[in-house]
Amino acid sequence: MHGHEHDVRAASRRALALALALTVAFTVVEVVGALYADSLALLADAVHMLSDNVSLGLALVAVWLAGKPPTPERSYGYKRTEVLAALANGVVLVAAAAWIFYEAIQRLGDPPEVLGGWMLAIALVGVAVNVTAGAILHRSRSSGLNVEAAFRHVVADLLGSLGVLAAAVVILVTGRAEADAVVAGFVGLLILASSWTILRDSTSILLEATPRGIDAMAVGERLARAPGVVEVHDLHIWTITSGFPALSAHVLVGRGEDCHQRRRELERILREEFAIEHTTLQVDHAGSEGELVELSRF
């Protein structure tokens, strides 16, 4: 299990590093091109790419920290740094979108002259870079929330580059410079859309909500129906970090039941039916009046 986690982290680290190298190189090109062409759409896309660079950098640090071994003070190690980094990414995206909307509104009233040819060339390079980075991250996106967040950034950037491409064509064909500001607003909407899922998932984990895809009521009812179980209460299901659900519960079994056997059976149910492997079950015998007559903690 440890070896598998190490391999997953190594693969995530490689994917993030390659994607970061690509996006950093293109961000420099896009900023220079945006300033030269006086294109807000290109600059908005560059800001989004810059947020990608920050996101990927944070993700790399988070993957490194998540691989550090646990200590007595931090029994889960630094696994949740991944979630904190994803939350920071989402906040950065919202701030970037607000700035882009403000600038787009200003330019709609007084659009400057935009060099459509430069926009077109840089947008084509952007499409190629984002497709490449997306393909790299796609292979590792199931390994954690941070890689998934980075992948969403790149997909949104790809859509942004396609929007810039369309604006460049409109400007070259019709001369309507307003298309630049319109596409910039479109990029801002893409940024907001990509930030929503990241913020929702990261805050849900930090608030220790039941993981998406797991019905806490269904889990409790299934455990209560298991042979020998009298009652299940104090059931908690949360996420340590993405892909790492955990569960704890207090289970009462009949007076003549084997607590060890019942616990093993419940762990099997949780593992096979709900894909929850990290469990802490306190199994006790129930008395005739519902009181505890024997205590067995596992």
Reply yes or no on whether the pLDDT at 2 is more than 60. Answer: no
Residues carrying CATH 3.30.70.1350, the chain: 216-297
Reply yes or no on whether the pLDDT at 280 is more than 80. Answer: yes
Could you say which DSSP state residue 257 is in? Answer: S
Closest CA relative to residue 225, chosen from 253, 200, 249, 244: 253
45 against 144, higher pLDDT: 45
Average pLDDT, the chain: 82
Reply yes or no on whether the pLDDT at 38 is more than 80. Answer: yes
What mean pLDDT comes out for the span 32-41?
87
DSSP secondary structure string for all residues of 84-114: HHHHHHHHHHHHHHHHHHHHHHHHHHSPPP-
252 against 70, higher pLDDT: 252
Closest CA relative to residue 148, chosen from 157, 140, 156: 140
Residue 119 is inside which H or E element, if any?
A: helix 116-138
Q: Are 45 and 107 in contact (CB under 8 A)?
A: no
| CA pair distance 290, 124, nearest whole angstrom | 71
Reply yes or no on whether the pLDDT at 11 is more than 70. Answer: no
Q: How far is residue 57 CA from its own chain's centroid?
A: 14
Read off the pTM: 0.69
Tell whether the torsion through CA atoms of 27, 33, 38 and 40 is positive or negative: negative
Q: Which residues lie below 8 Å from residue 254, measured CB to CB, with a gap of 6+?
A: 228, 230, 285, 286
pLDDT digits (tens, 9 = 90+) for 283-298: 998 864 444 443 333 3
pLDDT digits (tens, 9 = 90+) for 81-130: 778 877 887 888 888 888 889 888 988 877 778 888 888 999 999 899 88
**The CATH classification of domain 2-206, taken from the options 1.20.1510.10, 3.30.1380.20, 1.10.287.610, 3.40.50.10320:** 1.20.1510.10
Residues carrying CATH 1.20.1510.10, the chain: 2-206
Could you say which DSSP state residue 210 is in? Answer: P
Residue 292 confidence (pLDDT): 44
Q: Which residues lie below 8 Å from residue 149, measured CB to CB, with a gap of 6+?
A: 55, 59, 86, 89, 90, 198
Domain 216-297: give its CATH architecture.
Answer: 2-Layer Sandwich (3.30)
